[in-house]
């Protein structure tokens, strides 16, 4: 592994991953390809601007010509595909871009890897690939659909996505699987639970509630607030991806999670308490259509087969995260200007 193409590396998880990889593997070169949509932010990466192993290219993963050029010029041997439209609420209002970026974008990357990595690209029966290459698809537990009060997601479960977002991610997973089965591309798929941590765009629950609390704005809780998510610190997600890149068996899917289920309302109350605000800020609003009730990851496969463990407890991670947002108010002020205001008014007002 020498030249890693990280797509979506200017987003929340991608930017954390790029920085972790440069730190953990000083001999790797990271090529970050990002279209810089509303969610992509180069301010997340300013501290590595002068790292000679880091290169940024503004490009859309749906652009075949551009992807081809990048593979040709950068000798890419590893792909970690984070690039996606990632917010469920936006997928309910505008599904189409979710389908084109999340599904077609993934297929374009797979076609390009096939062309550059296959030993004999003109032979449709050839399943031999250059040594050491790998395509890692960053997916989500949301592809499994919703759980009832009991049970956990395991890798062998059927995919039953409920939102346009999760359906687009599930579709991408199936395309990755098909390219592995049919063409032999060496792949892994990771399915992680909800992430939190620094640089998360404040459209997602935790940074939205922190930002609104800081501005004494209402805290919009969907439905009864008793939906459950299984939270993982972003740096634990990144270390799990690094583990799968190095140790994951070809063609395998790995769930990623840290056994940390919380009801939304409890998270909101914890943020309120930590910031010394009043619960009167809570406003129960109309539920999200198709809202999944509960997610919970069974992480037995990645912990027992690959030896990965999360480093953070939720209590430690959420405190650090709140502190990060307190210390980075200029970052928040910049991301909530412009497009965010329009989005917020359309969603909540
Ligand atoms: P994000 O929305 O913060 O970042 C997405 C990035 O992709 C942005 O930088 C954006 O500019 C870029 N992008 C979007 N469309 C693109 C395109 N067509 N071409 C190139 N770049 C494009 O998302 P995130 O929360 O960092 O999630 C990253 C990945 O992890 C996604 O694939 C998501 O499905 C997955 N995931 C997220 C979570 C979570 O809790 N956030 C959990 C599990 C899996
Ligand atoms: P979100 O961060 O959008 O992640 P996902 O939908 O991918 O799990 O939402 C997390 C949970 O918080 C989800 O159950 C929806 C809920 N939620 C609210 O109650 N209010 C909000 O304003 C938002 C953004 C989310």
Give the CATH number for residue 331. Answer: 3.40.50.720
In a domain, 342, yes or no: no
Domain count of the chain?
1
Closest ligand 2 atom to Cα of 140: 7
Name the pLDDT band for 47 (thresholds 50, 70, 90). very high
* CA 257 – CA 231 distance, rounded (Å): 7
Q: Are 297 and 256 in contact (CB under 8 A)?
A: yes
Q: Report the Cα 247 to chain-centroid distance in Å.
A: 20
Ligand 1 lined by 245 (C-beta under 6 Å): no
Q: Looking at the CA of 232, which ligand is closest?
A: 1
Name the pLDDT band for 243 (thresholds 50, 70, 90). very high
- In this predicted structure, the answer to whether residue 338 has a pLDDT above a threshold of 90 is no
Q: Looking at the CA of 201, which ligand is closest?
A: 1
Tokens of 346: 């359309």
Ligand 2 lined by 220 (C-beta under 6 Å): yes
For residue 320, indicate whether it is catalytic.
Answer: no
* CA 331 – CA 286 distance, rounded (Å): 30
Q: Are 46 and 34 in contact (CB under 8 A)?
A: no
Q: Looking at the CA of 162, which ligand is closest?
A: 2
Residue nearest to atom 17 of ligand 1 (CA): 60
Closest ligand 1 atom to Cα of 15: 26
Tokens of 261: 């289920």
* Secondary element (H or E) of residue 7: strand 3-7
In a domain, 150, yes or no: yes
In a domain, 118, yes or no: yes
- In this predicted structure, the answer to whether residue 19 has a pLDDT above a threshold of 80 is yes
Ligand 2 lined by 221 (C-beta under 6 Å): yes
In a domain, 349, yes or no: no
Closest to 333 in 3D by CA, of 25, 43, 18, 109: 43
Helix/strand/coil (H, E, C) string of 143-176?
A: HHCCECCCCCECCCCCCCCCCHHHHHHHHHHHHH
Tell me what pLDDT residue 3 has: 97
User: Best of 90, 167, 205 to mutate for ligand 2, by most ligand atoms within 8 A of CB?
Assistant: 205
In a domain, 132, yes or no: yes
In a domain, 348, yes or no: no
Percent share of the chain, pLDDT over 70: 100
* CA 213 – CA 313 distance, rounded (Å): 23
- Separation of CA 294 and ligand 2 centre (Å): 12
Render pLDDT for 103-124 as a digit per residue (tens, 0 to 9).
Answer: 999 999 999 999 999 999 999 9
* CA 268 – CA 225 distance, rounded (Å): 9
- In this predicted structure, the answer to whether residue 1 has a pLDDT above a threshold of 70 is no
In a domain, 346, yes or no: no
Q: Which of 1-5, 200-204, 262-266, 286-290 has the lowest mean pLDDT?
A: 1-5
* CA 211 – CA 81 distance, rounded (Å): 29
* CA 67 – CA 198 distance, rounded (Å): 29
Q: Quick one: DSSP state of residue 290?
A: T
For residue 141, indicate whether it is catalytic.
Answer: yes
Ligand 2 lined by 194 (C-beta under 6 Å): yes
Tell me what pLDDT residue 23 has: 98
Tokens of 291: 């809202």
- Separation of CA 62 and ligand 2 centre (Å): 28
* CA 261 – CA 226 distance, rounded (Å): 11
Domain that holds residue 281: 3-337
Q: Are 264 and 225 in contact (CB under 8 A)?
A: yes
Catalytic residue among 116, 129, 165, 344: 165
* CA 52 – CA 174 distance, rounded (Å): 36
Q: Report the Cα 301 to chain-centroid distance in Å.
A: 20
Q: Are 45 and 260 in contact (CB under 8 A)?
A: no
For residue 203, indicate whether it is catalytic.
Answer: no
Ligand 1 lined by 207 (C-beta under 6 Å): no
* CA 320 – CA 69 distance, rounded (Å): 40
58-96: buried (b, 16+ CB within 10 Å) or exposed (e) per residue?
ebbbbebebbeebbeebebbbbbbbbbbbbbbbbbeebe
Handedness of CA 265, 266, 269, 271 (dihedral sign): negative
Could you tell me which residues come within 8 angstroms of residue 189 by beta carbon, excluding any fewer than 6 positions away?
A: 136, 137, 139, 173, 176, 177, 252, 253, 254
User: Best of 37, 103, 260 to mutate for ligand 1, by most ligand atoms within 8 A of CB?
Assistant: 37
Render pLDDT for 213-237 as a digit per residue (tens, 0 to 9).
Answer: 999 999 999 999 999 999 999 999 9
In a domain, 67, yes or no: yes
Q: Are 227 and 237 in contact (CB under 8 A)?
A: no
């Amino acid at each position: 592994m020498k030249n890693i193409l990280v797509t979506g590396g200017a987003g929340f998880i991608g930017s954390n991953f790029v920085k972790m990889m440069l730190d953990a593997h000083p001999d790797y070169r990271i090529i970050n390809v990002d279209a810089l949509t509303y969610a992509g932010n180069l301010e997340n990466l300013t501290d590595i601007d002068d790292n000679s192993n880091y290169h940024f290219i503004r490009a859309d993963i749906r652009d075949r010509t551009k992807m081809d050029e990048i593979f040709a010029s950068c000798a890419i041997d590893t792909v970690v595909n984070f690039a996606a439209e990632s917010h469920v609420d936006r997928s309910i209002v505008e599904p189409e871009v979710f389908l084109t970026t999340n599904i077609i974008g993934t297929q374009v990357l797979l076609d390009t890897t096939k062309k550059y990595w296959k030993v004999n690209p003109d032979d449709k029966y050839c399943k031999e690939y250059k040594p050491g290459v790998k395509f890692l698809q960053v997916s989500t537990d949301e592809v499994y659909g919703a759980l009832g009060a009991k049970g956990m997601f395991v890798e062998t479960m059927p995919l039953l996505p409920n939102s346009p977002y999760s359906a687009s991610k599930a579709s991408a997973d199936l395309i990755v699987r098909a390219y592995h089965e049919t063409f032999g591309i060496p792949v892994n798929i990771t399915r992680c639970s909800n992430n939190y941590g620094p640089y998360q765009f404040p459209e997602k629950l935790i940074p939205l509630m922190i930002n609104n609390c800081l501005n004494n704005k209402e805290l919009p809780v969907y439905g009864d607030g008793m939906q459950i998510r299984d939270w993982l610190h972003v740096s634990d997600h990144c270390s799990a991806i690094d583990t799968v890149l190095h140790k994951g068996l070809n063609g395998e899917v790995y769930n990623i999670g840290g056994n940390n289920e919380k009801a939304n309302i409890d998270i909101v109350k914890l943020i309120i308490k930590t910031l010394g605000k009043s619960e009167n800020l809570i406003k129960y609003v109309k539920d999200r259509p198709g809202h999944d009730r509960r997610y919970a990851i069974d992480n037995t496969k990645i912990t027992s087969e690959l030896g990965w463990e999360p480093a953070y407890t939720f209590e430690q991670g959420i405190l650090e995260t709140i502190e990060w947002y307190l210390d980075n108010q200029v970052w928040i002020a910049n991301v909530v200007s412009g497009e965010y205001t329009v989005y917020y008014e359309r969603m909540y007002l």
